[in-house]
């Protein structure tokens, strides 16, 4: 199989490589401007060709909740969003807490056309926070990370044990840094808006306290701990302090925490209900500053699909989560890059080199021999978000009808075109 992506501007973490025809053969990048016969031509003229994005945080709901999402729909959604490797979270039914489930996911994903599955496994059996999983067996089966994401690991001794094993095995630990007792029954950010609406609040302190615990245990054990979906200024300040002190922690933020605030909840629409919650404008500003100054290492989607019926319940009953794989890049491009608050190169870094560094994977590059995971971006054409056209089974989105630019118009994974428009 040989592909040519013709006439695109090549951009990667090494810089702007100019306008070229990029050739792909048998799953890897072959070279530039080579000529000769190809099986498929992709017109990239006037567009940007760049390594496919890496998502270290997506809920694909498979096994057990295929009514929300499954491997086929989730990996197709990721491809449509310009993603190559996607780390799937372990809070499925059953939980991904044994090597057999990991191996089954890897085997089934290999038969799916779309993004690359890189499964995470649970820290504790059943996500119950009581008994450690067999981290070595999970890694051997193909797990690239351990996390109880969705549920904070409340027991500090258990978290320490997990970090000790993970450090010895070279596994990344991803956290869900919220103190469960401080979070309590909070369904939105605790503050002026939650008081006005009379909804139970989840204070920023619940995040800051747990970021501190998680970071201190990382320092104690030497485990590489990725702090998922940091949402608040206080949480980010603690992470910044930990990093300055040499703790082996990295920081993830999500597209929704960078673009939405708790003011959205005034609509009482659970489409905005997410954990950790949408915070204040000042928090959004702090997270955005962190993108620029290096406090943030990666942008992960925390794509968390649910059925429309579930999300149309009242604010107290509806589940937490926003489905965003297919709008993440256009949203961030339009709101941050097109407005001049973030350079395009930095946004790409946070979706490519940043997550690769977190995982200890090679930086994705447009060089001969590198894996052909590529995305073609149209930075000019404006198009309205239409959730009904999502590949994800979750069709409802906070950004319905918004005019965005920066749409991924083609995605190549392992040398195959897995998403293409026009």
C-alpha 221/C-alpha 155 separation (Å) is: 16
Report whether 214 contacts 245 (CB < 8 A).
no
Question: Which of 324, 261, 259, 253 has its CA nearest to residue 290?
Answer: 253
Q: How far is the CB of 332 from Zn ion (least distance, A)?
A: 18
**Per the residue annotation, which of 12, 179, 302, 378 is the catalytic one?**
302
Question: Residue 311's closest CA among 231, 385, 200, 387?
Answer: 387
Q: What angle, rounded to 10 degrees, do the helices at 204-221 and 156-169 form?
A: 50
Which of 120/418 has CB closer to Zn ion?
Answer: 120
Closest CA to 219 of 189, 191, 249, 195: 249
Which CB sits closer to Zn ion, 48 or 58? 58
149 or 178: CB nearest Zn ion: 149
Q: Judged by CB, which is closer to Zn ion: 175, or 280? A: 175
Closest approach, Cβ 320 to Zn ion, in A, equals 9
Beta-carbon contacts of residue 410 (< 8 Å; ≥ 6 apart)? 5, 42, 44, 375, 376, 417, 419, 420, 421
Q: How far is the CB of 275 from Zn ion (least distance, A)?
A: 8
Instruction: Return the sign of the alpha-carbon dihedral for residues 166, 179, 203, 68.
Output: positive
Q: Which residues bind Zn ion (CB under 5 A)?
A: 149, 302
Q: How far is CA 166 from CA 131, 138, 276, in A?
A: 15, 11, 25
- Which of 12/302 has CB closer to Zn ion? 302
Q: Smallest distance, Å, CB 418 to Zn ion? A: 24
* Residue 373, CA distances (Å) to 7, 112, 162, 172 in order: 18, 15, 32, 22
Active site (annotated) includes residue 262: no
Q: Exposed e or buried b for every residue in 344-374, given b needs 16+ CB within 10 A?
A: beebbbbbbbbbbbbbeeeebbbeeebbbbb
Q: CB-wise, 60 or 72, nearer to Zn ion?
A: 60
Shortest Å, Cβ 246 to Zn ion: 27
Residue 89 CB, shortest distance to Zn ion, in Å, is 5
Question: Among residues 92 and 334, whose Cβ is nearest to Zn ion?
Answer: 92
Please confirm whether the linkage preceding 94 is cis (ω < 30° from 0): yes
To Zn ion, the closest distance from the beta carbon of 91 in angstroms equals 8
Cα–Cα distance between 269 and 255 in angstroms, integer? Answer: 18
**Catalytic site positions:** 302
């Amino acid at each position: 199989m040989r592909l040519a992506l013709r006439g695109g501007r090549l951009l990667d973490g090494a810089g702007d490589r100019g306008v070229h025809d990029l050739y792909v053969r048998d799953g890897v990048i072959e070279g530039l401007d080579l000529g000769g016969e190809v099986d498929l031509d992709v017109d990239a003229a006037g567009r940007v060709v760049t390594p496919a994005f890496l998502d270290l945080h997506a809920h694909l709901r498979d096994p057990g909740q295929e009514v929300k999402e499954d491997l086929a729909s989730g990996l197709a959604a990721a491809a449509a969003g310009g993603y190559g490797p996607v780390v799937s979270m372990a809070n499925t039914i059953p939980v991904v807490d044994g090597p057999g489930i990991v191996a089954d996911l890897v085997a089934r994903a290999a038969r799916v056309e779309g993004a690359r599955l890189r499964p995470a496994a649970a820290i504790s059996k059943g996500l119950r926070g009581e008994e450690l999983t067999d981290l070595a067996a999970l890694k051997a089966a193909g797990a690239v990370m351990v996390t109880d994401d969705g549920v904070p690991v409340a027991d500090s001794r258990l978290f320490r044990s997990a970090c000790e094993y993970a450090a010895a095995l070279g596994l990344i630990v991803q956290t869900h840094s919220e103190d469960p007792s401080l979070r309590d029954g909070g369904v939105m950010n605790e503050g002026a808006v939650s008081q006005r609406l009379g909804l139970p609040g989840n204070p920023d302190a619940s995040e800051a306290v747990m970021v501190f615990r998680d970071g201190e245990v990382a320092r104690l054990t030497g485990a590489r701990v990725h702090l998922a979906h940091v949402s608040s200024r206080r949480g980010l300040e603690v992470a910044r302090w930990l990093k300055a002190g040499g703790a082996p922690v990295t920081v993830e933020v999500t597209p929704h925490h960078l673009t939405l605030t708790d003011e959205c909840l005034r609509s009482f629409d659970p489409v905005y209900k997410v954990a950790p919650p949408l915070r204040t404008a000042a928090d959004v500003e702090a997270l955005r500053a962190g993108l620029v100054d290096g406090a943030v290492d990666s942008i992960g989607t925390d794509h968390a699909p649910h059925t429309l019926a579930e999300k149309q319940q009242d604010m107290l009953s509806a589940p937490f989560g926003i489905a965003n794989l297919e709008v993440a890049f256009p949203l961030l491009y339009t709101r941050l890059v097109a407005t001049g608050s973030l350079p395009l190169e930095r946004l790409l870094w946070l979706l490519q080199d940043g997550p690769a560094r977190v995982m200890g994977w090679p930086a994705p590059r447009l060089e001969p021999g590198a894996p052909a995971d590529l995305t073609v971006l149209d930075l000019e054409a404006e198009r309205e978000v239409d959730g009904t056209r999502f590949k994800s089974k979750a069709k409802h989105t906070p950004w319905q009808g918004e005019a965005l630019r920066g749409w991924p118009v083609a995605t190549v994974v392992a040398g195959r075109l897995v998403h293409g428009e026009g």
